[in-house]
């Protein structure tokens, strides 16, 4: 499934997709994976029952002709425990329908969620997600904004232009891989271990990490900033961007091989 988009200027842009499906795939089924590849704002709510549903809201789009064409091309496919939302064919998007306030809204609910994949030009919003394991893969231009995540294992991959913002994370193990132009910001983390690899132009900001070990590898142009209250910090700077550390740790190791420096004047080591 692919999406080529989008000129966000005054002229129309084009979306295109090749979402394959059978007639049975269009029948609503349980899912734990969400894959969105369309210009849309997605709102996810986790429920305590067994409901798995997707609701499409076109009301914010004021171009009636475009709405009709979008309804014809847009497909919601349920297959192998996953729901895929994308296009089957090409569609020109009027410039007025590119802005967030005038775009498609998608409301999704399920009792469990193990993966979020966003490949298009849109935004994904959720207040709380509680899962044994969760993978977030943001590859497009859009952003992911989540209030709180409770997960034993959490993986965050940001490869596109968009950003990932999470207010509160708690669990056992977390991996952060930032490869694109966009940034990753997590205000509060309580985890047994966090591994952070920053390879792109964007930055990673950890507002406060409380827990066990923090391993930082900064290889790109972007910077890493982290405040900690943890057992150990291992920081490696091999790129152009710098690493800024503050807070308290019991064990600290650093390795500088690139142009970027490691600023640790605000970090206290208490054995």
Instruction: Name the strand (E) or helix (H) holding 69.
Output: helix 64-73
Query: What is d(CA 207, CA 220) in angstroms, rounded to the nearest whole number?
Result: 20
Instruction: Quote the pTM value.
Output: 0.91
Domains, the chain, ordered by start: 1-113 (no CATH), 122-271 (2.160.20.120)
- The alpha-carbon radius of gyration of the chain (Å, integer) is 20
**Those residues with Cβ within 8 angstroms of residue 65's Cβ, 6 or more apart along the chain or in another chain:** none
SS3 7: coil
Per-residue pLDDT tens, the chain, 271 aa: give them. 343 333 334 456 777 677 888 899 999 999 999 999 998 999 999 999 999 999 999 999 999 999 999 999 999 999 999 999 999 888 888 887 778 888 999 999 999 999 999 987 889 999 999 999 999 999 988 899 999 999 999 999 999 899 999 999 999 999 999 998 999 999 999 999 999 999 989 999 999 999 999 999 999 899 999 999 999 999 999 888 899 999 999 999 999 877 778 999 999 999 7
SS3 8: coil
Burial of 3 (0-12, 13-18, 19+ CB in 10 A): buried
């Amino acid at each position: 499934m692919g999406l080529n988009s989008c000129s966000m200027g005054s002229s129309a842009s084009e979306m295109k997709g090749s979402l394959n499906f059978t007639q049975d795939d269009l029948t609503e089924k349980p899912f734990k994976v969400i894959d969105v590849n369309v210009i849309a704002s997605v709102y996810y709510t986790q429920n305590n029952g067994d409901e798995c549903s997707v609701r499409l809201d076109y009301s914010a789009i004021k171009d009636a002709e475009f709405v009709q064409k979008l309804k014809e091309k847009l497909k919601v496919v349920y297959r192998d425990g996953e729901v895929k939302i994308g296009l089957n064919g090409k569609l020109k998007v009027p410039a007025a329908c590119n802005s967030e306030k005038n775009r498609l809204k998608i409301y999704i609910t399920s009792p469990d969620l193990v993966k979020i994949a966003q490949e298009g030009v849109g935004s994904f919003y959720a207040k709380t997600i509680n899962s044994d394991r969760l993978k977030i893969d943001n590859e497009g231009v859009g952003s992911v904004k989540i209030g709180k995540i409770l997960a034993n294992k959490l993986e965050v991959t940001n490869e596109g232009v968009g950003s990932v913002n999470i207010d509160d994370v708690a669990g056992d193990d977390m991996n952060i891989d930032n490869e694109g132009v966009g940034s990753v910001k997590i205000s509060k983390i309580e985890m047994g271990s966090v591994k952070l690899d920053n390879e792109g132009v964007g930055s990673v900001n950890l507002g406060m990490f409380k827990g066990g070990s923090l391993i930082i590898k900064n290889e790109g142009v972007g910077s890493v900033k982290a405040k900690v209250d943890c057992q150990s910090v291992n920081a490696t700077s091999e790129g152009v961007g710098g690493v800024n550390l503050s807070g308290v740790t019991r064990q600290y190791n650093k390795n500088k091989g690139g142009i970027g420096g490691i600023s640790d004047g605000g970090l206290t080591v208490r054995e």
